[in-house]
C-alpha cells in the first residue's frame, strides 16, 4: 500500500477561535502567504497530497485564488468541516447536516472538487458523524489519531489557552481519547461502507510523528527531531505500516509571518528551518514508499485487484 501525505488547511482565524482569542470573527487569513510555500515544497518533493479545506474559508472570495492553485497543481481536496469547531461530536443531527451542506457547497464552488474524504477538526468524530458521511456518499474518514498523547496534548492546550470552563467543556474531545490509541494504524472499515484512514503514529509506542510534533521537538533539538522521525520510519517498515503523514500550515510559518499565533508551539523556529525539516521527512518517506493521495488509496482498497489489498471490517 502507498504512503500518503495530508494537510489540514486550518486558517489563522480557526486557530484564534479554538484558542479563545478575539478577532477571529473577521476571519483573518494567511492562505495567500502559506499556499505558495506548500505548493513549492510539494513540487520539489514530487508529491500530490490531500488537503482538508475548511468550508468557511472556501466561502470567502479572498481565499479562492489560493484554493484554486491547489487543485490546479493536482492535489486532492477533502472536507475539514465548515466552521472548524473541535466539538463536532456534540452537534445535533440538524447542526451536523447544516455544517456538511455548507462546507460541501463552498468547497465545490471554490475548488471544483467534490470531497470524498473528511477529517474532523481537532480529530472530533462520533458514530453520528460517520453515519452522515455514509449517507452523503463519502469514501473515507480520517479523523482518528491513535496516540497515547492525546490527553496530554489537550491538557497542554487548556493550560495555555484563555478559555472559560464552559468553552473548555466543549473542547474536551480535542485530540481524541486515550482509548483511540488502541485503534489500527492502517486503513480499515470502521463502519460498513466507510473506510477509516487514521493519522499514523509511532508503531508500538503510539506517540505522534506528524510534523507539528516533530517541530515541537526541533525547537529544542533538530537532530533529536530527525532521529525520532528516522526511528518512526524504521518501525513503520518493520510493522509494514505505510505512513499517513499529517501537515499543517504552521509547519511552513513562523511568528514573523503571523504574530497573532506566536503562542503556538514552534512558532519561534524560523520558517526556513521548518520547511527544511518538512523536506527531510518527505524525502525520507518517498525513499521507502510509493505515495498517493488518500482518495486514490481509498479507491484502491475499495476495489482491490489482489486479495492482499482487501480491507477487513474492524470495529472501533
The answer to whether residue 218 scores a pLDDT higher than 80 is yes
What is the domain class of 4-309 according to CATH? alpha beta
Are residues 125 and 144 in contact, defined by beta-carbon separation less than 8 angstroms? Answer: yes
Q: Select the more confidently predicted residue: 258 or 305.
A: 258
The answer to whether residue 309 scores a pLDDT higher than 60 is no
User: What residues contact residue 30 under an 8 Å CB cut-off, 6+ apart?
Assistant: 11, 12, 249, 253, 257, 258
Write down the pLDDT at residue 182.
79
User: What residues contact residue 170 under an 8 Å CB cut-off, 6+ apart?
Assistant: 85, 86, 87, 90
The answer to whether residue 310 scores a pLDDT higher than 70 is no
Element (H, E) at 247: strand 244-247
SS3 category, 125: coil
Determine how β-strand 50-53 pairs with β-strand 76-79: parallel
Confidence class for position 151, pLDDT limits 50, 70, 90: low
Write down the pLDDT at residue 19.
84
Element (H, E) at 296: helix 294-302
List the domain boundaries for the chain.
Answer: 4-309
Q: Which of 168-177, 222-231, 306-315 has the highest mean pLDDT?
A: 222-231
Lowest mean pLDDT among 94-103, 171-180, 224-233: 171-180
| End-to-end Cα separation, the chain, in angstroms | 22
d(CA 66, CA 138): 25
Confidence class for position 18, pLDDT limits 50, 70, 90: confident
Question: Can you tell me the mean pLDDT for 141-146?
Answer: 95
Write down the pLDDT at residue 96.
97
Element (H, E) at 7: strand 4-8
All cell numbers assigned to 242: 505505510
Q: Select the more confidently predicted residue: 64 or 171.
A: 64
d(CA 176, CA 146): 8
All cell numbers assigned to 293: 493521495
In this predicted model, what pLDDT tens digit does every residue of 266-287 receive, in sequence order? 999 999 999 999 999 999 999 9
The residue among 130, 121, 117 whose CA lies nearest residue 51 is 117
Amino acid at each position: 500500500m502507498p504512503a500518503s501525505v495530508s494537510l489540514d488547511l486550518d486558517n489563522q482565524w480557526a486557530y484564534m477561535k479554538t484558542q479563545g482569542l478575539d478577532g477571529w470573527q473577521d476571519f483573518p487569513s494567511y492562505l495567500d502567504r502559506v499556499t505558495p510555500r506548500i505548493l513549492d515544497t510539494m513540487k520539489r518533493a514530487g508529491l500530490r497530497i490531500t488537503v482538508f479545506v475548511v468550508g468557511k474559508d472556501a466561502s470567502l472570495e479572498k481565499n479562492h485564488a489560493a484554493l484554486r492553485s491547489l487543485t490546479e497543481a493536482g492535489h486532492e481536496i477533502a472536507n475539514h468541516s465548515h466552521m472548524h469547531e473541535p466539538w463536532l461530536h456534540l452537534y445535533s443531527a440538524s447542526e451536523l447536516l447544516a455544517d456538511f451542506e455548507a462546507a460541501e457547497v463552498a468547497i465545490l464552488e471554490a475548488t471544483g472538487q467534490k470531497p470524498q474524504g473528511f477529517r474532523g477538526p481537532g480529530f472530533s468524530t462520533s458514530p453520528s458523524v460517520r453515519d452522515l458521511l455514509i449517507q452523503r456518499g463519502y469514501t473515507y474518514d480520517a479523523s482518528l489519531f491513535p496516540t497515547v498523547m492525546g490527553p496530554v496534548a489537550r491538557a497542554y492546550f487548556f493550560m495555555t489557552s484563555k478559555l472559560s470552563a464552559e468553552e473548555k467543556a466543549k473542547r474536551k474531545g480535542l485530540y481524541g481519547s486515550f482509548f483511540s490509541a488502541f485503534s489500527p494504524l492502517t486503513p480499515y472499515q470502521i463502519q460498513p461502507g466507510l473506510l477509516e484512514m487514521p493519522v499514523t503514529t509511532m508503531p508500538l509506542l503510539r506517540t505522534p510523528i506528524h510534523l507539528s510534533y516533530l517541530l515541537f521537538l526541533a525547537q529544542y533539538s533538530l537532530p533529536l527531531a530527525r532521529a525520532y522521525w528516522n526511528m518512526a520510519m524504521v518501525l513503520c517498515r518493520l510493522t509494514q505500516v505505510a505512513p499517513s503523514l499529517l501537515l499543517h500550515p504552521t509547519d511552513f510559518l513562523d511568528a514573523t509571518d503571523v504574530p497573532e499565533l506566536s503562542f503556538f508551539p514552534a512558532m519561534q523556529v524560523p520558517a526556513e528551518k521548518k520547511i527544511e525539516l518538512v523536506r527531510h521527512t518527505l524525502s525520507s518517506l518517498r525513499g521507502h514508499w510509493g505515495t498517493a493521495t488518500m482518495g486514490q488509496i481509498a479507491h484502491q482498497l475499495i476495489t482491490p485487484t489482489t486479495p492482499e489489498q482487501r480491507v477487513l471490517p474492524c470495529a472501533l
